Structure 1
């Protein structure tokens, strides 16, 4: 409770003493996963962000970020998941950064814990420590550490469990803390993010999620308020399906050529 009051006071005080920019953004992500065993899963993500500017309110005014990210997930038990990733981000005119272009290499350690597992509603706690290396105007990559804490709830609407043909909802609250840097600014409290969304598994292992995200980024000179719509496409066990499809196509071609 004391921590929540501190964060609230910090945000409100900064807002009162600063100007504000209201930004509209669109986030798009494609996620491909592959089960290696009962305990190991690998994942590849790619996506982009488009954003308005204080001068132009169009959400697709400019593509500000593109990225490619590789994950490895380990499940040591029913409730725990440990993850690492390595990623490259192309940042260009990102509103919260202090320079026009800032290419970035990012790695992270993430730990997730299922707080409510045997109920219809699932509640997950997530801890992530990110090691960011952003290229600054002095010509070198500056290290920035960022801590992210998230609580997320998922609730199936049309059935007791999530599977093909089931609509589900999710909500998340996340706070970000960072070290000060030339590119990211001197603030240690980075942002607060609220997410509300819906997901649906259209066919086996293909899921679409759409969400609304609200971010508050207190800054010394100009605060940033972001309203973002995200569309995420998830392809689970993508590689085996692709290989099966390739073999079926190859077999059809061979049969059409008389087996030559």
Structure 2
């Protein structure tokens, strides 16, 4: 575990050093995501979520200046054990004016495979490792969908503040760091290392079926012309089984990977 944390710290410091040497473009953004989940059985969970991103521009860095992206995703999650969570989603993204893409108004179809593993069992602090492979198909200016493959790896630590576990009326703190790597393409750029995303925030599980997270995220995107830095206020809201009769709910055994973490997290 110490080696993993040392690796993450080295990457962040290296990236920070690189950003100082070159030109930088800093934008303030607002990310928000709303997820609805339903327990199908003790091992399977379905989810539907939607997200919206707004961003400032160099001349006006108000986070609500303009909408840059919205998305809809359909998930299926499988829990083979109390430490593992395997997920798949298919999504539609409308990239209206995403700063790192080389064009505006770029529709995108994306599917992903994701695995989450919890390092600790029966401890107050949860540390999850998450790996995701994404197949992005983004429409270019000629109306052709260009394929971009992306790999993401995240480490996330969650600590309940007023309870031993995250249960009803629990306030918790979390911190995470995620590395992105992608294949080269005309529409998303020729860089292999795509970005680093660091996040810190607070979450509150108000009830068994409702929780909210508010966090600050910092993204660093190395680019040949000008490195990009995004400072984002992020809000994630999760509703569980709100469309079904509580008396007929499937009760799924709590797993170590259920630490309050949202399935998604940004574009």
TM-score, scaled relative to structure 1 = 0.88
Q: CA deviation digits over 1:209-242, x for unaligned, max 9?
A: 1111010011010111011011111001223159
After TM superposition, the structure 1 = structure 2 runs for residues 8-19 of structure 1, keeping only pairs within 5 Å, are: 9=14, 12-13=17-18, 16=21, 18-19=22-23
> Which structure has the bigger radius of gyration?
1
TM-score, scaled relative to structure 2 = 0.86
2:56 pairs with 1:72: no
CA distance 1:61–1:12, shift in 2 (3 Å): same
CA distance 1:66–1:111, shift in 2 (3 Å): same
Partner of 1:167: 171
Give the count of matched residue pairs. Answer: 243
- 1:98 deviation in Å? 0.9
Unpaired runs of 5+ residues, structure 1, are 245-260
Q: How far apart, in 2, do the equivalents of 1:11 and 1:232 lie?
A: 27
- 1:48 deviation in Å? 0.1
Q: How far apart, in 1, do the equivalents of 2:96 and 2:35 lie?
A: 22
Which structure 1 residue ranges, 4+ long, deviate > 3 Å from structure 2? 1-15, 241-244
CA distance 1:75–1:116, shift in 2 (3 Å): same
Q: How far apart, in 2, do the equivalents of 1:83 and 1:197 lie?
A: 24
Q: CA RMSD in A?
A: 2.0
Q: How far apart, in 1, do the equivalents of 2:91 and 2:124 lie?
A: 34
Partner of 2:29: 25
- Counterpart of 1:56 (choices 23, 35, 60) is 60
2:155 pairs with 1:151: yes
Contact 2:131-2:152 at 8 Å conserved across structures: yes
CA distance 1:229–1:241, shift in 2 (3 Å): farther
Contact 1:11-1:218 at 8 Å conserved across structures: no
Q: CA deviation digits over 1:22-47, x for unaligned, max 9?
A: 11000111000000011100100101
2:189 pairs with 1:185: yes
- Counterpart of 2:43 (choices 39, 58, 64) is 39
- 1:117 deviation in Å? 2.2
Unpaired runs of 5+ residues, structure 2, are 249-267
Contact 2:167-2:207 at 8 Å conserved across structures: no
- Counterpart of 1:234 (choices 216, 238, 244) is 238
- Counterpart of 1:121 (choices 112, 122, 125) is 125
